[in-house]
Amino acid sequence: MKRVHTLLLTVVIVLIGFPAAGALDNLSARTAMSWPPQQKIDVPYEPTSEKVVVRMLDIATVGPRDLVYDLGCGDGRIVIEAVRRKGARGVGIDIDPKRIQESNENARKAGVTDRVVFIQQDLFDSDIGKATVVMLYLLPSVNLKLRPKLFRELDPGTRVVSHSHDMGDWKADRREKVKGHDIYFWVIPANVAGTWAWAVPDGQGNKQYNLKIGQRFQEVIGTFFFGNTEAPVRDIRLTGRRLSFMVDRMMDGKKTSFRYEGEVNGNTIEGTAKPEHGSSAGTEAWKAKRNPNAATAVETRD
């Protein structure tokens, strides 16, 4: 009878699956990793095809000096290809531990573990400030929710590529279709809105110049003032930190077109103003300053 009881107990334990110590460890590890993040997945997993991955890397002109982030990295394919094909380094962030496990496994198989890091994290909590390129394959609503973070944390000049989805009223700098899939490309613009001032010595003291810029993302308009005289600004462009525009000014008593080009760093723009007559004679150094209190954020929606 005692033997029958022992046998029965063994059968019951096997049937209800009494876990061994190791199995318990695995169970608690799995539980700790998958809950609660699994409940917060904003976008279901769907991998980007190889053709689209390659084009995304090309459009962003990814190279060996880049640090490529994929926010919602899935099985890690975009950052792994950024290393394999372009010699870049990569960071993949995904909320789903299964995806991070796959990414690490794929990085190991591709022999790139020394140049990639995969982090299990909510992309909205991730620290993305070091990225030079950000890759996305999310959803339109998630892109819009992410947009203020991109403007807050990324340096001007950082490239952003999105598979399938746009960024609402932040127009893409470039858009392409590959095998029926849209690819959008943006460069994070510097913040240039406000009034910039500088002075140029002209023999009888300094000439005062001002440039007033209105900005909506990378789209800018400008008005130029020398003293109290206003002049229209033509062909004004902002790409990352690079600002350029044309303006007609007097030089040696003659109306002359000048091309201004400069690099924006916070509240300073430094560059040159060149008369458009072919030679470099008359080229001036250009250093403009903005009152820091007058600057407003490029993206204020949060």
Ligand X SMILES: C[S@@+](CC[C@H](N)C(=O)[O-])C[C@H]1O[C@@H](n2cnc3c(N)ncnc32)[C@H](O)[C@@H]1O
* Interaction site with ligand X (CB under 6 A): 40-43, 45-48, 70, 72-74, 77-78, 93-96, 99, 122-123, 137, 163
Count of C-beta atoms within a 10 Å radius of residue 144: 17
- Rounded distance between C-alpha atoms, residue 29 and residue 57, angstroms: 35
The token pair that represents 246 in the structure block? 């044309």
Please, which residue, 44 or 201, has the CB nearer to ligand X? 44
With 0-12 / 13-18 / 19 or more C-beta atoms within 10 angstroms meaning exposed / middle / buried, residue 8 is exposed
Please, which residue, 159 or 249, has the CB nearer to ligand X? 159
Please, which residue, 101 or 195, has the CB nearer to ligand X? 101
Q: Which residue sits closest to ligand X, CB atoms considered?
A: 72
Please, which residue, 40 or 237, has the CB nearer to ligand X? 40
The token pair that represents 247 in the structure block? 């303006």
- Rounded distance between C-alpha atoms, residue 158 and residue 188, angstroms: 5
- Rounded distance between C-alpha atoms, residue 266 and residue 53, angstroms: 34
Instruction: Write down the least CB distance from residue 255 to ligand X, Å.
Output: 53
The token pair that represents 205 in the structure block? 């003291």
Instruction: Write down the least CB distance from residue 104 to ligand X, Å.
Output: 14
Please, which residue, 164 or 210, has the CB nearer to ligand X? 164
Instruction: Write down the least CB distance from residue 44 to ligand X, Å.
Output: 7
Instruction: Write down the least CB distance from residue 296 to ligand X, Å.
Output: 29
Cβ 294 vs Cβ 194: under 8 Å: yes
Instruction: Write down the least CB distance from residue 161 to ligand X, Å.
Output: 10
